[in-house]
Amino acid sequence: MLEELKKQVLEANLLLPKYNLVKFTWGNVSGIDREKNLVVIKPSGVPYEELTIEKLVVVDFDGNIVEGDYRPSSDTATHIELYKKYKDMGGIVHTHSTWATIWAQACMEMPALGTTHADHFYGNIPCTRKLTQEEIEGDYEKNTGKVIIETLGDGEVMAVPGILVSCHAPFTWGKNPRDAVVNSVVLEETCNMAYHTVTLNKGIESLDQYLLDKHYYRKHGKNAYYGQK
């Protein structure tokens, strides 16, 4: 079942080591079938070089394993919370990539400081509040999803397709698993640039709205003119 989606999820997971976003097994990608409300996700703790289609796990919205011999990623409940809330998400990525994790550990929103950022993300990358002791000791992964949702709110979430979880690491998403990984690569590079920009010029501020608009809409939406038709 879900053969095409599994193939996409496998390929997207294998992009994580290719783009140097993970060490060991520090990351996972999932994808969703919106008709069946089933999520395909990486098995927990399996090295990327040993990952195959057969080892992927299919879970439903209650986290039950529908198919697969392996335990799903320990972060599965976070993915499910996000998929349930935001219908446009087709793929989700969680990594501990170096630069994005640095901003998450610093518990700081990552500002939009240049057009590299604006080409891909329509505004600052938010950072969640810290989870409370109760949230951590309770249903932790589910509560991580809830705190992300609390931060993102009810609106559109595909224009800023990433978030930093305080003291933890980033999540990104996209219309499909591959797109979500691309957003992880861009987040990592923009976090790298932003670290060095703010340490070079301490007074720097986020982009003016009109420059953010210009670059974002050059690449997105009906008036986009970047790339081929």
Q: Enumerate the active-site residues.
A: 119, 226
- Three-class secondary structure of residue 146 per DSSP: helix
Alpha-carbon dihedral 35, 180, 169, 51, rounded to 10 degrees: 80
Q: Which listed residue (182, 183, 184, 187) binds its own copies by CB under 8 A?
A: 182
Bridge partners (DSSP) listed for residue 65: 59
Phi, psi dihedral angles at 68 (to 5 degrees) = 120, 145
Give helix 177-200 / helix 3-18 axis angle, nearest 10°.
30
Bridge partners (DSSP) listed for residue 91: 31, 174
Confirm or reject binding of residue 153 to its own copies (CB under 8 A): no
Q: Which listed residue (137, 139, 150, 156) binds its own copies by CB under 8 A?
A: 137
Confirm or reject binding of residue 18 to its own copies (CB under 8 A): no
Instruction: Provide the token pair at 193.
Output: 């640039």
Binding string, residues 31-50; x marks residues near its own copies by CB under 8 A: ------------xxxx----
Which residues are near its own copies by CB under 8 A?
A: 23-26, 43-46, 70-71, 74, 96, 98-99, 101-108, 113-116, 130-131, 133, 136-137, 140, 167-169, 182, 185-186, 189, 192-201, 204, 207-208, 210-211, 214, 218, 225-229
